[in-house]
Amino acid sequence: MRHQKALEAHRVQREREAEKKPRKWPKGKILLATCLLVLIFGSYALWQYANTPVSSEETPPSQETPTQTVPTTEIFIMPNGTVYPSTAPILNVRNSYYKFKADINSSIIVGRDNIIIDGAGYTLQGLVNGTVGIDLTNRYNVTVKNVKIQNFEYGICLYYATRNVISGNDLKNNYNGIWLDYSSNNTIISNTIMDSEGNGWFKIFL
């Protein structure tokens, strides 16, 4: 009887000592928690690096903003009369009258008949590399007036174009000022054409 009581007292004492000791996590849980912490801190560090602005001193030369504006696209007067892109500085009045609101560094390709294009004294600027300032291919009854056109290979090109009016324009430093090819019954009047290395204006007779 005394022996049993001694054993029982020893067991109770061991249980109390076990309750006082801190519980240890299994090794698997410790490893998992460590991996999660590494993943969280690593993702945060990567996010911080990706969102850190690059100073101007670190910007590669190829990414610097160009200082000279050059033609990078064309402006289209679409067959339905709308202007593309819509950001082009051209006032569109009822899809029939188009007036410049600023200088333009681009070519204009006309796809609509029976309209007026008024440059309002602004400049249409290009590069002499095969570009056309105002392209009137297959156009009928289009008036182009008051535009300063410079630095194109063809300032104004009429190809298979009929009954158009080119009036009061200033064409300078274009390889060819006004070019007519397979076109008839067009009126070209009161234009100033200067410094054309090729032709001031040229017509191919049928």
How far apart are alpha carbons 69 and 108 in whole angstroms? 17
Q: What is the tens place of the pLDDT at every residue in 179-191?
A: 999 999 999 999 9
Same domain, 16 and 101: no
Band of residue 15 on the pLDDT scale cut at 50, 70, 90:
low
Band of residue 205 on the pLDDT scale cut at 50, 70, 90:
very low
Among candidate residues 53, 52, 92, the one with its CA nearest the CA of residue 76 = 92
Between 143 and 30, the higher pLDDT residue: 143
User: Does the residue 157 lie in any domain?
Assistant: yes
Same domain, 46 and 88: no
Taking residues 73-83, what's their average pLDDT?
Answer: 95
Same domain, 48 and 12: yes
User: Does the residue 148 lie in any domain?
Assistant: yes
Same domain, 123 and 175: yes
Three-class SS state of 102: coil
Distance of CA 131 to the CA centre of its chain: 19
Same domain, 95 and 33: no
Same domain, 34 and 86: no
Overall pTM > 0.85: no
> What is the structure's pLDDT at 196?
79
Band of residue 30 on the pLDDT scale cut at 50, 70, 90:
low
User: Does the residue 80 lie in any domain?
Assistant: yes
Same domain, 121 and 168: yes
AA letter at 104:
I
Total number of domains in the chain: 2
Question: Domain range holding 26?
Answer: 2-52
> What is the structure's pLDDT at 41?
60
> What is the structure's pLDDT at 200?
57
User: Does the residue 68 lie in any domain?
Assistant: no
Distance of CA 110 to the CA centre of its chain: 21
Q: At 144, list the tokens.
A: 């182009």
How far apart are alpha carbons 35 and 47 in whole angstroms? 18
Pairing mode, strands 97-100 and 90-93 = antiparallel
Q: What is the mean pLDDT of the chain?
A: 78
Q: At 199, list the tokens.
A: 């032709």
User: Does the residue 185 lie in any domain?
Assistant: yes
40-49, 56-65, 131-140, 168-177: lowest mean pLDDT where?
Answer: 56-65
User: Does the residue 60 lie in any domain?
Assistant: no
**Does position 194 have pLDDT exceeding 60, yes or no?**
yes
Q: Is the dihedral of CA 49, 52, 58, 60 positive or negative?
A: positive
Q: Is the dihedral of CA 77, 81, 87, 90 positive or negative?
A: positive
> What is the structure's pLDDT at 49?
55
Q: What is the tens place of the pLDDT at every residue in 100-158?
A: 999 999 999 999 999 999 999 999 999 767 799 999 999 999 999 999 999 999 999 99
Phi then psi dihedrals of residue 14, to 5 deg: -65, -40
Pairing mode, strands 83-84 and 74-77 = antiparallel
Same domain, 107 and 34: no
Instruction: State percent of the chain over pLDDT 90.
Output: 56
Same domain, 187 and 103: yes
Band of residue 61 on the pLDDT scale cut at 50, 70, 90:
very low
Three-class SS state of 38: helix
**Does position 159 have pLDDT exceeding 60, yes or no?**
yes
Same domain, 42 and 117: no
Three-class SS state of 80: coil
